[in-house]
Structure 1
Amino acid sequence: MPRIKEKLGDRSLGVAKDLGKRLGKKTSGHRAAAQPPWTLYYNPHCGTCLKVKERLESRGVQPKIVEYMKDPLSVKTLERILKKMGLGPAAITRFKEPFWMEKALDPDRLGRKEWLEMLAEHPFLIQRPIVETKERAVVARPPEETDSLFSEQ
């Protein structure tokens, strides 16, 4: 479309609409409102993750799937998720993991930056599943936790 606009100026929208009509497509002068992006931070071996994926799909949401064990989350991504939750790193940490207990880590002594770096380096410590939308994020345990996200639409 940029090339059309370059050649036709302000008439480009009318040309695009006309082309759409000739191709049998409904067009309007306005773009359709896009569904807010949904991201599911997911482990395919987790039963709860599978239930959440099915729950979202049954409500018409096709989330972007991030297998965070294969593609670990960055500190920046973790910060964004926590900001949307309005919580600290403890909200997404799996404290029952043997690694956590073997290291005898004390949450009260871990700085936020150090904690997030640890989660980024050891993704198995991240609670799952996490569902993120444009405005909010939740740990979807139980899967019904996702219901509150639908009020955004």
Structure 2
Amino acid sequence: MTEITLYHNPACETSRNTLALIRNSGVEPAIILYLEMPPTRDALKKLIADMGISVDKLLRKNTEPYTKMGLAAGRFSDDQLLDAMLAYPILINRPVVVTSLGTRLCRPSERVLDILPSPQRGAFAKEDGELVIDESGNRVSQ
């Protein structure tokens, strides 16, 4: 059985589409509702390292804490940004997916296809109707 972990916010359309793409590959992922149960500092640092991105690239910028804390100013250290994300998990951009093939911030949701070990099993359209996978399980080129 393939193990996949999804850091998920069910209120987010991109996160829901990512979950649906994972399920379309025949796998039920371990779902972490990170707003309710944020990752530990070490787990968050590992996710960032495994994605090969900087801490600020995981910051969700269109949130009230981002604006109120002045995080756009660029004067905060990585440790301070991690502190902010741990104090306000809404600042963690999502969805983040971990598979045996890698760890990705899946924005847009189709980015998950690059790290899914199993192929898509059938057609898939995003919630907005955009066709991503055809009836044969192949990615539709955009």
Structure 1 length as normaliser, TM-score? 0.70
Residues of 2 paired with 1:38 and 1:146: CA distance?
11
Residues 1-153 of structure 1 mapped to structure 2, 5 A cutoff: 34-35=1-2, 37-106=3-72, 108-150=74-116
Contact 2:61 2:91 (C-alpha < 8 Å) held by counterparts: yes
In structure 1, the gaps of 5 or more residues are 1-33
Figure out how many residues of one structure are paired with residues of the other and give that number.
119
| 4+ runs deviating over 4 angstroms | none
Highest Rg: 1 or 2?
A: 1
User: Going by fraction, where is strand more abundant, 1 or 2?
Assistant: 2
Taking only aligned residues, the RMSD between alpha carbons, in angstroms, comes to 1.9
Shift of 1:126: 0.8
Letter in structure 2 aligned against 1:50:
R
- Identity of paired residues, percent? 25
In structure 2, the gaps of 5 or more residues are 120-142
